[in-house]
Structure 1
Amino acid sequence: MASNSFSILSRGFGSVIAFMVIATSLLAPLQAQAGPNPRYASIVLDVESGEVLSASNAEAPRYPASLTKMMTLYLLFEALEDGTLTLEDTFPVSSHAAAQPPSKLWVRPGDRISIKEIIPALVVRSANDVAVVVAEGLAGSERAFAGQMTDKARALGMDATTFRNASGLPDDLQVTTAKDMAKLSLSLMQDFSEYYDYFSQTSFVYRGKTHTGHNNLLDSYAGADGLKTGYIRASGFNVATSAVRDERRIVTVVMGGFTAKSRDAHTADLLDRGFVRAGLLNRNDWIASADVFDSTKAISRPTRTRATRTLAVATTENKANTATAAAGRNEQSMDDPIQRLIAQVDRQGQRSMDGWAVQVGAFRDPSGARDLASQAVRQLDASLNDSRVAVTPSTSEQGVFRAQLVDMEEGQARRSCAQLMERGMECMVVRADVDG
């Protein structure tokens, strides 16, 4: 890939790793994923800003399946980078490697396979036999190589990942998280950008036979240029995806899909929402977010070069399924928006301030805050949509306007927030006299 394709990636990579834990928010999965599915996890991040745009179960342990081969490739690329190997070098095929179950390249014991043939076999074909060839070629045995893979995971900050084999074939002790797989995806792109083109390949030829891949997103989603799919029965259908739109790169990891088709559709939806949400960052706005790992306490604000984005608390019972706030914004100019807001409050009168409210976001632009709050009201059932829209200046941060639905009883507020989450909007329940 051309170097300018990774200029955004290079600038944002450090921020991604730094803010991955503290900047995580939740995004509700599609209906197909939202039902009882203990295998599901996802994460979406904007590479340039370092913003984790959404996540669900992102730190929960999951089986990586063939996403494992991204680490196998990382160590192979590292050997190429430090001169230990060249693309023309070959590795021998052992009986153990040849005996691996499909997917495989069907290499035979005693064969030799070159590094330039190995890479597409792992990326495109996801060949288990070739993964073992790499393990034995680099470390002498698959067990020793798995130890090296785990050591490298720790070095990359993948603290929740343990590897037991090079392929991702079933092993109860081989576990990872969506967050760790996102870190690995970013590390591959940043550390070995000269090899990244391999991840966009959809076919390759080995010994006169054309082999096609499993990653249909490369053809079906505009801008997708990697990375890797995976499946075992225990994991469900996994995929790590990177896509570019309007010079912005987003990385997603989805784990636990019921089918490859539903996984791909869900990934496309996450990417679409992610690009919309990432676009809001350029407008110096923030949407209500939540800590995916502990929804009982607020997350401290990270220091940012962009406008500060407040991270908010979601209710515990809804932390697993939260969704991106609606992206629509009213760009209509106003003569003096602050004075208009003050006049609006004066006209409406200030009702009881010891009630409850649902906060759906906070903006630098008051018109954007009002528009989002109005959208939230329209999403509620008739029994809940009689609440009043309020756009009020934040008392804790100058120039920030809170978008809230106010004048609610506590139960009504919690039901409203739960309903908004189900319908794709983020929110949090607050006391009306507490600044969000």
Structure 2
Amino acid sequence: MKVRHTSPARLGLLVISLLWLVVALPLSVSAAPYAAFVMDARSGEVLHARNADTRLHPASLTKMMTLYVAFQAIENGEITLDTTVKISANAAAEQPSKLGLRSGQRIKFRYLIRAAAVKSANDAATAIGEILEGSEAAFARRMTRTAKSLGMSKTTFKNAHGLTEKGHLSTARDMSTLGRHLLYDYPDYYNLFSRKSTDAGVKTVPNTNRRLLSNYRGADGIKTGYTRAAGFNLVASAERGQERIIATVFGGRSTATR
């Protein structure tokens, strides 16, 4: 690892990030394949990498791309935050974590975004994909195309939510790249990821990442994920002074080690 012109603020972020990753490593081996990546968000400089290009299950980190495409669609005028979405039987039948949407229910697009970002709701993520591309499969293809355009060369999406599916794979490096793009491409929406709870239309939902947001100084996102195949995954961003670091882990053994 080569770090140049390391300021005290960035050094502090890096040291804590690496300590966290070292603690997670020995515990994660039995749970799922382990990978980690730490980058300077502003410069893109790589500060730490371990199995960073190994293709693994991203779990709900997937929703980062679902939301990136949703933000893109709003900016392009394809849809508005106040567009009313009719929930399909397919979306309503998604497995937890979910908002609890019912088939035929109508809800504004803004609440689907909030639920996917904060609650990590699978039904909301599927509904986002269906309203934008007509089917989740078509939306997953759009997600993959978008990933390639962002330089995420080893990522393929098969669904909008991240539940385990053959061929649905990404890497720690690619997910860090996506986190950086969310931060800088859509700063007006990025605040969603730091909300400890949010109004999702039908109810107020807590953030799945609130433990890190509450306990790690400077943390303001981004996304957690878990499936049995993936282990406990996380893309985290924190800012202290003029320094910002993005750290990603795949294959954590528990919420605490993640």
TM-score range, shorter chain: 0.7 to 0.9
Segments of structure 2 that go 5 or more residues without pairing to the other structure are: 1-17
CA shift, 1:254, in A, is: 0.9
Identity %: 48
Map residues 65-144 of structure 1 onto 2, 5 A cutoff.
Answer: 65-144=59-138
- For the residue of structure 1 that corresponds to 2:175, the secondary structure is helix
Map residues 167-316 of structure 1 onto 2, 5 A cutoff.
Answer: 167-207=161-201, 209-215=203-209, 216-263=211-258
- For the residue of structure 2 that corresponds to 1:240, the secondary structure is strand
Indicate the structure (1 or 2) with the bigger Cα radius of gyration.
1
Quote the Cα distance in structure 1 between the aligned partners of 2:33 and 2:140: 23
Q: Which amino acid aligns with 1:221?
A: Y
**1:153 and 2:147 equivalent?**
yes
**1:54 and 2:55 equivalent?**
no
* Deviation per residue, 1:37-87 (Å, 9 max, x gap): 551111111123332111111001110000000110011000111122221
CA shift, 1:32, in A, is: 4.3
**1:30 and 2:25 equivalent?**
no
User: Does the 8 Å CA contact 1:118/1:130 hold for their aligned counterparts?
Assistant: yes
May I ask how many residue pairs the two structures share in their alignment?
Answer: 237
Give me the CA root mean square deviation.
1.5
Structure possessing the higher relative contact order (Cα contacts under 8 Å, 6 or more residues apart): 2
Of 154, 157, 164, the residue aligned with 1:163 is: 157
Quote the Cα distance in structure 2 between the aligned partners of 1:151 and 1:45: 24
TM-score, structure 2 as length reference: 0.88
* Deviation per residue, 1:400-425 (Å, 9 max, x gap): xxxxxxxxxxxxxxxxxxxxxxxxxx
1:392 corresponds in structure 2 to none
- For the residue of structure 1 that corresponds to 2:98, the secondary structure is coil
- Structure 1 moving runs of 4+ over 4 Å: none
Map residues 319-334 of structure 1 onto 2, 5 A cutoff.
Answer: none
* Deviation per residue, 1:135-169 (Å, 9 max, x gap): 11000001111111111111111110000000001
CA shift, 1:31, in A, is: 4.1
* Deviation per residue, 1:177-221 (Å, 9 max, x gap): 000001111111121111111111111123463211210211110
CA shift, 1:171, in A, is: 0.6
**1:41 and 2:26 equivalent?**
no
- For the residue of structure 1 that corresponds to 2:248, the secondary structure is strand
Segments of structure 1 that go 5 or more residues without pairing to the other structure are: 1-26, 264-436
Quote the Cα distance in structure 1 between the aligned partners of 2:153 and 2:24: 30
